[in-house]
Structure 1
């Protein structure tokens, strides 16, 4: 079963464009958006299973200039 998640990212002040460039280069990132508000960037991540998803989110969290993240798992609504 495929797993998707949305990762909400807070960056250090002034680093948003640089972080966005790094994130867009990651092959498992389906979409990335710069946003206004509490978070700076929202990323949709695709994974094959829960372990793969965890590994990919950890890789994002380790990027330079990321202060914090919040991960939201997509609910599979199909039966």
Structure 2
């Protein structure tokens, strides 16, 4: 089992829309809005590192 934690910066006011879209990805296990430099935190989980790389590169 592979897990990655992603921090995302987004445009002001776009946080809710981005969180809602990210939550549609089945491999996303947790999404939270944050304060500070980064706006969104998400936890991604997959069976292999290759699958994890593909999810991060193509879906997020």
TM-score normalised by structure 2 residue count: 0.92
Q: Give the 3-state SS of the residue equivalent to 2:26 in structure 1.
A: coil
Q: Separation in 2 of the partners of 1:31 and 1:38? A: 19
What does the per-residue CA deviation read over 1:45-78, in whole Å, with 9 as the maximum and x for residues that have no partner?
Answer: 0011111010111120xxxxxxxxxxxxxxxxxx
Provide structure 1 residue ranges, at least 5 long, that are not aligned to the other structure.
Answer: 61-79
Q: How does 1:1-79 map to 2 (within 5 A)?
A: 2-58=1-57, 59-60=59-60
RMSD: 0.7
Q: Separation in 1 of the partners of 2:9 and 2:37? A: 8
Q: Separation in 2 of the partners of 1:25 and 1:3? A: 19
Provide structure 2 residue ranges, at least 5 long, that are not aligned to the other structure.
Answer: none
Q: How many pairs were matched up?
A: 59
Q: Separation in 2 of the partners of 1:26 and 1:14? A: 21
Q: Give the 3-state SS of the residue equivalent to 1:11 in structure 2.
A: coil
